[in-house]
Structure 1
Amino acid sequence: MPRWLWLWMLCMAGAAQAAGQSVEPSVFRALNAAQAAQQQGDYAAARRALDAAKAKSDSPEQALLWRSRGYLAWAEGHNAKAIEWLGKALDSGKLDTETRTSEQLNLARLNLLERRYAQVVSLLAPQQAAASEEILQMLVQAYQGLGQPAQALPLAERYVQGNPRAADSWLQFLVAVNAGLKRYPAAERWQRQLLDRQPDRARGWRQLAALQQLSGRHDRALATLRAAHSKGLRFNAAELDNLVLLAGVAEQPWQGAQLLTGMLEQGLLPRTAGREERLALLWWQARERAAAARIYRELAGRSGSAKHWLNLAQLELEQARWQDGLDALAKAERAGAEPSQVRAWRNWAETELSLVRAKRLASAG
């Protein structure tokens, strides 16, 4: 609906309400004249009509004139001034109950346009027990604007539960906010409802797997990807790699390593040196050093890379496998590793190995 037509309808409704009240005749005529001029786009004439009207202080007529000035300012695009006039009309306490409810909603709309979120909440929160979809949407948006998504959640949940055919945007909001608050099981529940509506969208399956991964359930994430794959849906490598990266962001290297292992073994991702190196790093971060060392040993044997040999050496030394660590250091050195770095690791390993041998001799003696 065009904005001017919407405003015109609001003004028409306001005139009818004013006519139903006991209004001083000269003010009533001024309100009607201003409304007629405003409908024709003659804002100057509307302003003159309102300026000419005289109303007693602290009277219903004064509140109605303020209200009309508010709508005139709104029609002219002066939202801040409209907020000021409508606010005065509401604060006067001279509007009838029905008109007051309508003006609170319109004032909330204006405040939302101006990103005055606290005022939106102040105006609408008392109505939220029996709120319409529009009021709930405005409250949800206002709480988000205030950085209080947790306050918006129960409102959105109530609306969706009461409206099973609510737009997808409501479900998407519930997924996003719950995930942002690290309420992953709740986010997963709403994501499954989205999937029920759109079972052939690969993106929905990927998002479900991501939520399961973030909640630390790599097995479920892998099962979700397998289920999507069996339905004929395909993900590109970057999308699957990003799921693994999520584990690092969430400080869940073990779960990330398990997920990547499963995707490589089941052919969801092609096996490359880069992914094997990432897998080794994830195992290392998870303190599964034996698994990380096994991968680096295979990588180093194929690549001959000084970096791979040096990583293998460090892993062996961290497991107190001193001689294996020294052997890997020698290969790293031959492959061109930084001499000072090799020397530092070697000095430590040789010292520890000497202590181990000395203890063995002492025990044997």
Structure 2
Amino acid sequence: MQRWLLLLMLCTAAAAQAAGQSVEPSVFRALNAAQAAQQQGDYAAARRALEAAKAKPDSLEQALLWRSRGYLAWAEGQNAKAIEWLGKAVSSGKLDAETQASEQLNLARLNLLEHRYALVVSLLAPQQAAASEEVLQMLVQAYQGMDQPAKALPLAERYVQGNPHAADRWLQFLVAVNADLKRYPAAERWQRQLLGRQPDRAQGWRQLAALQQLSGRHDKALATLRAAHSKGLRFNATELDNLVLLAGAAEQPWQGAKLLTGMLEQGLLPRTASREERLALLWWQARERAAAARIYRELAGRSGSAKHWLNLAQLEMEQARWQAGLDALAKAERAGAERSKVRAWRNWAESELSAEREKRMASAG
């Protein structure tokens, strides 16, 4: 780091002279003395040399002294001071165009280290049209720090489109931010590019399936998992269960139920009582009560669980199948269901059943 900082400030006055800017001899000597002292690690001597130098206000010499004091503070780890001095040099308007651009970049680096993201953007945004990879990375990081990922996206997309061999981290960023913004088709497109680079990485296939699931396309997610399986890639049960939970978290129970059904039918997941119960709950949440009741009926028949019989009773009643609900309630009661709960459900079902009979009798009469 120290060597890099020294290289940055090396030959400051000489560079100014090369650009046709003459430097007052006493300031030139002070800059060189400070540079030599800093190179030896004697920061105190470097500081004395710079503080002793006299420069006219609003002059090139003053800007060069500010610049050197900024790099000295940076070398000492005093980033806030470095920003102050280097900021003065950049704002002076006395540096030649090449040096000005270089110092703006270094000032942006310092502000990024200090999490001053708005200042990073103000310094680098004018360079967006012809930005280097580093500038784009800094802008992307700054926009993220400002919680403005949507502004970072076009910059990252532009870089990747102009650099087909961009590092994976750029594609991963595009996937993550698009997914956070619920732009699932765009996230899926970038995830496919990542998958093209690493086709034998199971995690990439799983992430693609998750994005397809989030976009409400359970059929595509299932096809993706099947394709990975046919390539010999394997997912552990927890990873596949999490895909189903993802649908619930995204308030897509119907999609989750279809995905889980497909995974169970095709052997991607072993069929267990807990997964069947989850499937029944997903169908229930999706208001597919007949499908949920069918699963709970099978579960209750195997387990004899009061909970399963009670859930079945409620599902039957929600479909106005009062007698079927009462039959399930009786079995729930025999299995040890809470009597007050059974009584409440029974009273409702019997009153509804009685009302239906009266209507039928009235119609017949």
Which TM-score band (shorter chain)? over 0.9
- 1:17 deviation in Å? 2.0
2:243 maps to 243
Distance 2:31 2:284 in 1: 77
Task: Report % sequence identity.
Answer: 87
- 1:6 deviation in Å? 1.2
Distance 2:13 2:41 in 1: 17
The amino acid that maps onto 2:119 is Q
Distance 2:56 2:5 in 1: 27
2:40 maps to 40
2:292 maps to 292
Distance 2:136 2:10 in 1: 25
Q: List 4+ stretches of structure 1 deviating above 3 A.
A: 13-16
Distance 2:190 2:59 in 1: 51
2:334 maps to 334
**Conserved in 2, the CA contact under 8 Å of 1:210 and 1:221?**
yes
Distance 1:194 1:14 in 2: 44
- 1:14 deviation in Å? 3.3
Q: How does 1:312-331 map to 2 (within 5 A)?
A: 312-331=312-331
**Conserved in 2, the CA contact under 8 Å of 1:19 and 1:28?**
no
Q: What do residues 149-175 of structure 1 show as CA deviations (whole Å, max 9, x unaligned)?
A: 000000000000000000000000000
- 1:19 deviation in Å? 3.6
The amino acid that maps onto 2:8 is L
- Gap change, CA 1:330 and 1:358, over 3 Å in 2: same
The amino acid that maps onto 1:223 is A
Q: Which runs of 5+ in 1 are unaligned?
A: none
Q: How does 1:53-72 map to 2 (within 5 A)?
A: 53-72=53-72
Alignment size in residue pairs: 363
Distance 1:9 1:229 in 2: 54
- 1:13 deviation in Å? 5.5
Distance 1:15 1:240 in 2: 64
**Conserved in 2, the CA contact under 8 Å of 1:18 and 1:64?**
no
Distance 1:15 1:23 in 2: 7
TM-score, scaled relative to structure 2:
0.98
- 1:15 deviation in Å? 4.4
- 1:328 deviation in Å? 0.6
- 1:75 deviation in Å? 0.5
1:128 maps to 128
**Conserved in 2, the CA contact under 8 Å of 1:218 and 1:256?**
yes
Distance 2:9 2:314 in 1: 77
Q: CA RMSD in A?
A: 0.8
- Gap change, CA 1:16 and 1:202, over 3 Å in 2: farther
Distance 1:64 1:330 in 2: 91
Distance 1:18 1:47 in 2: 21
The amino acid that maps onto 2:181 is L
2:5 maps to 7
Distance 2:259 2:304 in 1: 28
| Larger displacement relative to structure 2 (183-192 or 16-25) | 16-25
Distance 1:13 1:269 in 2: 67
Q: What do residues 262-302 of structure 1 show as CA deviations (whole Å, max 9, x unaligned)?
A: 00000000000000000000000000000000000000000
**Conserved in 1, the CA contact under 8 Å of 2:293 and 2:316?**
yes
**Conserved in 2, the CA contact under 8 Å of 1:293 and 1:316?**
yes
2:12 match: secondary structure: helix
TM-score, scaled relative to structure 1:
0.98
Distance 1:55 1:218 in 2: 71
2:92 maps to 92
Distance 1:346 1:16 in 2: 96
Q: What do residues 33-58 of structure 1 show as CA deviations (whole Å, max 9, x unaligned)?
A: 11111111111111011011000111
